[in-house]
Amino acid sequence: MTSTDLQQWTRVRDRLRAEVGDDVYSSWFARMELEGSEGDTVKLSVPTRFLKSWIQSHYAERVLACWQAEECGFSRIELTVRSSIARIHGTIGKAPEILAPPRERDVRSKCADLRLPNGPIAGLHESLGGSPLDPRLTFDTFVIGRCNTLAHAAAKQVVIARRDEPVMFNPLYIHAGVGLGKTHLLQSLAWAGNASPDRKLLYLTAERFMYGFVSALRAQNALAFKEAVRSIDVLIIDDLQFLQGKSTQAEFCHTLNALIDAGRQVVIAADRPPSDLESLEERVRSRLAGGLVVEMGSLGEELRLEILRSRTAAAKLQHPGFDVPPPVLAFIAKTVTHNGRDLEGALNRLLAHSKLTGNPITLEMAEREIRDLIRPQEPKRIKIEDIQRIVARQYNVSRADLLSSRRTANVVRPRQVAMYLAKALTLRSLPEIGRRFGGRDHTTVLHAVRKIESLVSTDNTLADEIELLKRQLQE
């Protein structure tokens, strides 16, 4: 290779970077190297077969055009996969950046002779051990509804993808609030994927990634790292929002790039979209957003009910006496609106209660048990004042009107709606609600609640208004 070749190569790279942008460049071309030239052919290499085929199918012409802009007479590009072993031994000082960040090199030279009983790679595998999986969290127990159809389908797709097929979307990034089934879905994926012996799926919480994976990598050399990465077909990282620290992030970014470049699937869950992961660097965020980003919404009432049913059925297998009447399930599905974790908690409460007291589960008992269970975890405490304010605004009356003893129709209905909402959305008792509505009797409140309940089933306009009010209050 002549020095002219090298100078031209530097300019070609700069040109390419300017054309495709930093992100694309660092994803696909950062590790492309010039091997030499022969006649009209310039020879380039990349470290993985996946990179090779990707560049060939997406960027071959562009790369050639960059060379031709140098007027160097090349009309062909030959792209090869360079052997990792030769590379690492031959150029240890400039091992691929992505795999061996500078800070790691010192560690690596110290550890170069480290030999674990089964050799460094087996040792690394051991230390790569994923986070424990909960046997209950499988696809069989995962209930599908409108809020999670897409995420579920994407996870299934990852499971059925074959090892040698190009990855459809990478990374797969799933985000949702607490208790909406991220961990359940990810663990289902890990169970299902690992059922086939020729694939290895590794499930790690971000915490485990920080304290286990990264340090295991640091203690190994770049070759072992590559081997380890190659041995993982799917890396699953849960709760990415907990990933902290600059160096951990750098390691994460290297791992992410290495896996994606090697054509390995990466699946990530977090409680917010990539753009809101404020502690992550912009380039990591954009890499995360570059695959498929799917949101899972709140569990709708039907889905909650379905989850409760399946949970109860499972519990019944172990505790045959455990019987939850359908109205109780419906009540829990309705009132425990927050998330799957609360649903589970509510059922556990009932189970404990029925085991300890031997009493059958009734609506009354459930109401009592569940209230005191969900009270401290309510995501947003809706205040009676807020209900009064929002209802008054909606119906164009004043809050004082709602509390007054006026009985004109334009005040009576909003007042009843407000009382009904107070009962439905807060944990206040009927007498307490009565007191807060200008010192009314609890029977008045009960009457209002029943009245609205019966109207809602026939009057669609009112039903819509109430839905709207609820949404405004819950936001």
Q: Catalog residues that contact ligand ADP under the rule CB under 6 A.
A: 137, 141-143, 148, 176, 178-184, 307, 340-341, 344
DSSP for 92-147? Answer: GGG--TTTS-HHHHHHHHHHTT---TTHHHHHHHHHT------TT-SGGGPPP-TT
For ligand ADP, the nearest residue by Cβ is: 340
Least Å distance, CB 205 to Mg ion, is: 8
Query: How many residues line the site for Mg ion (CB under 5 A)?
Result: 2
Is residue 45 within a helix (H) or strand (E), and if so which, with residue range? strand 41-46
- Give the separation between CA 320 and CA 325, rounded to whole angstroms: 14
Closest CB to Mg ion among residues 182, 208: 182
Q: What are phi and psi of 261, to 5 degrees?
A: -65, -30
Least Å distance, CB 170 to ligand ADP, is: 21
Closest CB to Mg ion among residues 148, 183: 183
CB neighbour list of residue 205: distance below 8 Å, 6 or more residues apart? 131, 237, 238, 239, 242
Least Å distance, CB 134 to ligand ADP, is: 8
Least Å distance, CB 177 to Mg ion, is: 10
By a kind-dependent CB cut-off of 5 to 8 A, residue 178 interacts, out of ligand ADP, Mg ion, none, with ligand ADP
Q: Are 265 and 231 in contact (CB under 8 A)?
A: no
DSSP for 397-409? Answer: --HHHHHS----H
Closest CB to Mg ion among residues 183, 221: 183
Closest CB to ligand ADP among residues 202, 347: 347
Q: Are 444 and 416 in contact (CB under 8 A)?
A: no
Least Å distance, CB 238 to Mg ion, is: 6
Least Å distance, CB 340 to ligand ADP, is: 2
By a kind-dependent CB cut-off of 5 to 8 A, residue 142 interacts, out of ligand ADP, Mg ion, none, with ligand ADP
By a kind-dependent CB cut-off of 5 to 8 A, residue 341 interacts, out of ligand ADP, Mg ion, none, with ligand ADP
By a kind-dependent CB cut-off of 5 to 8 A, residue 52 interacts, out of ligand ADP, Mg ion, none, with none
Least Å distance, CB 179 to ligand ADP, is: 4
Q: What are phi and psi of 165, to 5 degrees?
A: -85, 150
By a kind-dependent CB cut-off of 5 to 8 A, residue 148 interacts, out of ligand ADP, Mg ion, none, with ligand ADP
By a kind-dependent CB cut-off of 5 to 8 A, residue 349 interacts, out of Mg ion, ligand ADP, none, with none
By a kind-dependent CB cut-off of 5 to 8 A, residue 180 interacts, out of ligand ADP, Mg ion, none, with ligand ADP
Q: How far is CA 442 from CA 84, 215, 400, in A?
A: 78, 62, 19
By a kind-dependent CB cut-off of 5 to 8 A, residue 348 interacts, out of Mg ion, ligand ADP, none, with none
Closest CB to Mg ion among residues 183, 255: 183
205 binds Mg ion (CB under 5 A): no
By a kind-dependent CB cut-off of 5 to 8 A, residue 5 interacts, out of ligand ADP, Mg ion, none, with none
Closest CB to Mg ion among residues 27, 183: 183
Distance in angstroms between the alpha carbons of the first and the last residue of the chain: 65
- At what angle are helices 3-20 and 49-68 packed, to 10 degrees? 100
Nearest 5°: the CA angle 82, 83, 88 is 105
Least Å distance, CB 470 to Mg ion, is: 27
Closest CB to ligand ADP among residues 341, 353: 341
Closest CB to ligand ADP among residues 137, 328: 137
Burial class (CB in 10 A: 0-12, 13-18, 19+), 448: buried
Closest CB to ligand ADP among residues 38, 302: 302
Cβ count near 102 (within 10 Å): 8
By a kind-dependent CB cut-off of 5 to 8 A, residue 340 interacts, out of Mg ion, ligand ADP, none, with ligand ADP
Burial class (CB in 10 A: 0-12, 13-18, 19+), 307: buried
Map the footprint of Mg ion across residues 133-192, applying CB under 5 A.
182-183
C-beta contacts of 307-312 below 8 A and 24+ residues apart: 307/143, 307/340, 307/343, 308/332, 308/333, 308/343, 308/347, 310/141, 310/143, 311/343, 311/344, 311/347, 312/347
Nearest 5°: the CA angle 3, 6, 8 is 110
Is residue 466 within a helix (H) or strand (E), and if so which, with residue range? helix 460-474
Closest CB to ligand ADP among residues 84, 183: 183
Sites of contact with Mg ion (CB under 5 A): 182-183
